[in-house]
Structure 1
Amino acid sequence: MSRIPPLPALKAFLAACRAGSYSAAAEELNVTHGAVSRQIQTLEDWLGQKLFERAGQRMAPTSHALAFALEVSEAFERINDAAGRYGKGSATMLLRVSAPATFAMRWLIPRLEDFHQKHPGMLIQVQTATTQQISLAGSFDLAIRRGSPQADHFSAQAFLDEWLTVVAAPGLLARAPLNALHELSAHVLLDTETRPGDWQQWLNAAGSTEHGTSRRQRFDHFYVTYTALIDGLGLGIGPMPTLEHDVEVGRLVLPFAHIRTPSRRYYSLTPAGVAKTVIHRTFERWLLEQGNL
């Protein structure tokens, strides 16, 4: 045991790597900022290596620290596994999952009942992030994000490809049919400020233009645009299969389902300092089952 760094120091170190600052780690561990700083100083003295450097007003982990955190977290994961195998059994478990707001509301949350039925006693706490908050900051165990992962700071697992296509309420198309691209001009096109260019991407995929229409309605977030879509206020560009459940229950239809933009990939991301628990790995496997890869 003399060759192992002090466990309280390792605990504070992993929390600081995971949270991204001493202050956030102190809040997570319910201790003072000074206590976290002292534990990390102890670990740095033990290793003979600086692990954090100042970045503005906070102390940020170095690349050396993040690599060390990854290996330490893997060691802790093995300890967790052993404790699970040789203990009396698993207690109620919690996993904090950060996901984009629309993806969480329209894809993840409607499917969570399936997870809970398959894995009783495991609780998923969903934390939503808007486009302005989409950076990988905050306190979570696993994040779901679209696009290339930050390989130096997270381990990543791809599980879903998403594309864009035109979506509309059935009632709107009953009033004003949409069977050909030139009929787009008879409709209001709904835009979202946080998703600029979605219409142009789809029109490019369709090999089309707007056909002279100037009737557009813009909203700040897609979940507001979604409400306008459901209410039949116009046509929108929606992500699939994120809105798959809405199509299945008849809230939305896809007038040009065969025309879609190139796919964008979703990943489940685990911070380098997080040791994967039983529920963590179970949730990752479930995402793969629910995804389309």
Structure 2
Amino acid sequence: MRRLPPNSALRVLEVVAREGGISAAAEQLGMTAGAVSKQVLKLEAWFGQSLFHRAGRGLQLAQVGADLLRELTPALDRIELASGRAEAGRATDRLCITAPPTFMTYWLIPRLGQFQQSHPGIGIQLDNRRDQSRALPEQADVAIRRGAPDGPGLSVTAIMPEAITPACRPDMPGVETLRHPRDLAGVTWLMAAMRPHDWQDWLAAAGLPTLEPARSLTFDHTYLALGAAADSLGVAMAPLYLVAHELHASRLTAPFHDITVPTAGYFAVCETMREDAPAIRAFREWLTMQGAEHAAAVAAGTRP
């Protein structure tokens, strides 16, 4: 029988060493700092010696820890690779899809019924939790990202472009005063903390980089700002390709639609070793087809 240290503790050890501290490792692992500390102590008890020593506010590997990690990291890499190959061979019939909340709310969910009708045997789990540290979060089969991520072992497929322009409700009080971009100074600006530069970028393109609003409201996400715009609270900087249906249905209007600023487009990400799994391949092909059709409709000014 093999005599091996606790596998879960070994994984924690690698992350603590990489991040240089308990708190940073806990954030990466989705654990509490206390739970991470407990795993490190368990491993040190197993070896009967300290694996780290303190360096300022962080931790630094002791020599025995460094020697262990030198052998441990390639071993974990090989396990991950073998596991991925095994998973790639299975017939996946359930997909976990992660995407930005605005993309999910305004574009993906309204179309998802089409995919389910075409592929009734594939179950879908949607997850809009954001993980900025990973292009493809753990447990996700496909991630949709703004901008093409760069990383080893990732297969990235373009879905569609994006651009921004101001949008508001057609009957918002004061909308009749918006005849020139400078008139935006007299209304409330609805801002999204997740996209803090959108207003400045659009104003620069409109030749008004120093324009300031009469009032402003800031929300965590773009979909909240768009919801506030639909409730006549002000003008939001809207992702044109995501709200094209709202514009066509006159639930929103773009008073300066002739001034748009291209932004990062949308991409589908999966593991390279799993890109040919039937369910993942079917979903990515459907996404690219839907994205191309939608982009063509937006460019032509027809109903998306």
Q: Look up the match of 2:77.
A: 65
Q: Look up the match of 1:125.
A: 125
CA distance in 1, matches of 2:87, 2:216: 54
8 A contact 1:184–1:210 mirrored in 2:
no
Residue 238 of structure 1 deviates from its aligned partner by 1.0
Q: Report which stretch shifted further, 150-159 or 139-148.
A: 150-159
CA distance in 1, matches of 2:290, 2:110: 12
CA distance in 1, matches of 2:186, 2:174: 13
CA distance in 1, matches of 2:249, 2:73: 47
Residue 289 of structure 1 deviates from its aligned partner by 0.7
Residues 232 and 115 (structure 1 numbering): CA distance in 2 closer, same or farther, change over 3 Å? Answer: same
Residue 160 of structure 1 deviates from its aligned partner by 1.4
Q: Look up the match of 2:184.
A: 184
2:132 to 134, 137, 146: 134
Select the structure with the greater relative contact order (CA < 8 A; seq sep ≥ 6). Answer: 1
Residue 196 of structure 1 deviates from its aligned partner by 0.9
Deviations 1:13-68 (A, max 9, x none): xxx9xxx99xx8xxxxxxxx9xxxxxxxxxxxxxxxxxxx859xxx9965993798
8 A contact 2:274–2:280 mirrored in 1:
no
Residues 116 and 202 (structure 1 numbering): CA distance in 2 closer, same or farther, change over 3 Å? Answer: same
Q: Look up the match of 2:116.
A: 116
- Provide the secondary structure at the position in 1 that maps to 2:208: coil
Residue 114 of structure 1 deviates from its aligned partner by 1.6
8 A contact 2:168–2:232 mirrored in 1:
yes
Q: Look up the match of 2:22.
A: none
- Provide the secondary structure at the position in 2 that maps to 1:226: helix
The alignment's C-alpha RMSD in Å is 3.6
CA distance in 2, matches of 1:268, 1:141: 10
- Kindly provide the amino acid, as one letter, of the partner of residue 98 in structure 2: S
Q: Given the two structures, how large is their TM-score scaled by the length of structure 1? A: 0.67
8 A contact 1:73–1:272 mirrored in 2:
no
- Kindly provide the amino acid, as one letter, of the partner of residue 77 in structure 2: A
Q: Given the two structures, how large is their TM-score scaled by the length of structure 2? A: 0.65
Moved over 6 A (4+): none
- Provide the secondary structure at the position in 1 that maps to 2:203: helix
Residues 134 and 111 (structure 1 numbering): CA distance in 2 closer, same or farther, change over 3 Å? Answer: farther
8 A contact 1:66–1:153 mirrored in 2:
no
Q: Which runs of 5+ in 2 are unaligned?
A: 1-6, 16-24, 30-38, 40-67, 296-304
CA distance in 1, matches of 2:256, 2:72: 48
Q: Look up the match of 2:258.
A: 258
Q: Report which stretch shifted further, 271-280 or 150-159.
A: 271-280
Residue 74 of structure 1 deviates from its aligned partner by 5.8
Deviations 1:133-173 (A, max 9, x none): 33323311111111231331421111111111111111116
8 A contact 1:66–1:273 mirrored in 2:
no
Residues 244 and 61 (structure 1 numbering): CA distance in 2 closer, same or farther, change over 3 Å? Answer: farther
Q: Which runs of 5+ in 1 are unaligned?
A: 1-11, 25-32, 34-52, 85-91
